[in-house]
């Protein structure tokens, strides 16, 4: 712990793009062998492997902080941003000046419009690593560095019932209920009537149900779906319309009788300020692997000022992103819940010396300095060589 002495300067920034094959892929194993594929009716690329970018930032005394970008496809792309644009600026800097460094890094490409996309993902990984490093140097957890934890256990909902039929989804939901789960989010978007039928089936288990529509619906369809979900007491409707359609979401929010959730595609406070100011979302879902810790806290404050709760998104991020999400969730006064991805969590601990505790009933706040996890560098190095 630093006690009146000058912190050691940053000497190295390294990228570790990794791709892990698991018995199941994210949201269920596809019936294709291609590395990247599309799951109709969803439009995004998915990978048959768990892909991510880990970033390590090391000081002159050997202390290392770890960060992670949400990079489910092509982690080499944000890695190039870190290596070419961000790392040279960090060498020789004081790692405890996290927020000044964040503002300096965000300014590098900002006037060229690069506060989003792969640039933002790269910034997020570096920012998380700096907070972890600062915590390790000071002996404080990230939650403590952020001003203290509002909670020691992070409430969660189970994300996804990756089964092909409603009967199988019901059986899996019953298994989760037996393990103590109280809420589940369905990944749907297969048509309004079919989605409502699936919701009816899963509601029969007694679990609270939310729906992720994966951006597939037109405004009239989304209104009809929202009406049907509200009649059934569904917890929230996530990503109903095209992710760029702020006005469409604003109109839907005004007409829907259940919360509309948005945020995984947004990466900084100015984007969220636009959506919040237009009352285009009821539940904010930033992902720390796309925003970083510094920006997620700013987003949380903006949301609180608009009386909007925050439910951080988490999909394919491994142990570092998961720990970062939990640390920030503990420090948010307006937290609703955190997204628990069962299959991702099985893979997440492969890069850690000790697995994170937590399950469908909640996650205890990781103890220890920084993010509260120990990354196994040898495993990360081996995985990076295999990728």
pLDDT of residue 353: 96
pLDDT for 22 = 86
pTM, two decimal places: 0.96
Domain with CATH 3.20.20.120 in the chain: 145-370
Q: What is the pLDDT of residue 3?
A: 64
pLDDT at residue number 321: 98
How high is the pLDDT of residue 1?
63
- pLDDT of 4: 62
- Encode 193-217: b = buried (16+ Cβ within 10 Å), e = exposed: eebbebbebbbebebbbbbbbbbbb
Rounded Cα distance between 57 and 105, Å, is: 15
pLDDT at 32: 64
Domain span(s) for CATH 3.30.390.10 in the chain:
10-140+378-386
CATH code, residues 10-140+378-386: 3.30.390.10
Q: Does domain 145-370 have CATH number 3.40.50.300?
A: no
- The series of mean pLDDT values per 10 residues for the chain, 387 residues long, is 80 97 81 79 92 97 98 96 98 97 95 91 98 98 98 97 95 97 97 98 98 98 98 98 97 98 97 98 98 98 98 97 98 98 93 95 96 97 88
Residues assigned a catalytic role = 313
> What's the half-sphere exposure (Cβ side, CA atoms, 13 Å) at 301?
9
pLDDT of residue 31: 60
């Amino acid at each position: 712990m630093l006690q009146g002495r000058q912190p050691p300067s940053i000497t190295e920034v390294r990228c570790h793009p990794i791709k892990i094959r698991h018995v199941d892929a994210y949201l269920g194993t596809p019936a294709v062998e291609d590395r990247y594929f599309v799951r109709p009716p969803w439009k995004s690329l998915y990978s048959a492997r768990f892909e991510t970018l880990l970033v390590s930032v090391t000081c002159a005394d050997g202390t290392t902080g770890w960060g992670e970008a949400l990079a489910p496809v092509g982690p080499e792309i944000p890695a190039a941003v870190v290596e070419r644009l961000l790392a040279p600026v960090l060498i020789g800097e004081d790692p405890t000046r996290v927020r000044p460094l964040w503002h300096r890094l965000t300014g590098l490409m900002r006037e060229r419009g690069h506060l989003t996309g792969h640039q933002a993902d790269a910034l997020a990984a570096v920012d998380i690593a700096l907070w972890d490093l600062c915590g390790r140097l000071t002996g404080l957890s990230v939650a403590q560095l952020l001003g203290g934890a509002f909670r020691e256990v992070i409430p969660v909902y189970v994300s996804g019932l990756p089964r092909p039929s409603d009967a199988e989804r019901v059986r899996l939901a019953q298994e989760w209920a037996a393990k103590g789960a109280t809420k589940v989010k369905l990944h749907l978007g297969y048509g309004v009537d079919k989605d409502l039928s699936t919701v009816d089936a899963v509601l029969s288990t007694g679990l609270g149900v939310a729906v992720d529509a994966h951006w597939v619906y037109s405004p009239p369809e989304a209104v009809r779906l929202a009406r049907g979900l509200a009649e059934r007491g569904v917890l929230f409707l996530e990503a109903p319309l095209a992710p760029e359609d702020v006005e469409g979401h604003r109109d839907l929010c005004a007409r829907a009788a259940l919360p509309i959730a948005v945020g995984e595609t947004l990466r900084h406070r100015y984007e969220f300020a636009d959506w919040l100011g237009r009352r285009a979302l009821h539940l904010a879902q930033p992902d720390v692997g796309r925003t970083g810790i510094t920006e997620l806290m700013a987003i949380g404050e903006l949301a609180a000022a608009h009386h909007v709760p925050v439910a951080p998104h988490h999909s394919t991020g491994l142990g570092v992103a998961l720990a970062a999400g939990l640390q920030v969730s503990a420090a948010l006064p307006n937290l609703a819940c955190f997204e628990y991805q069962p299959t991702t969590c099985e893979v997440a601990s492969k890069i850690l010396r000790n697995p994170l505790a937590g399950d469908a009933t909640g996650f205890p706040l990781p103890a220890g300095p920084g993010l509260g996890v120990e990354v196994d560098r040898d495993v990360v190095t081996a995985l990076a060589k295999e990728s």
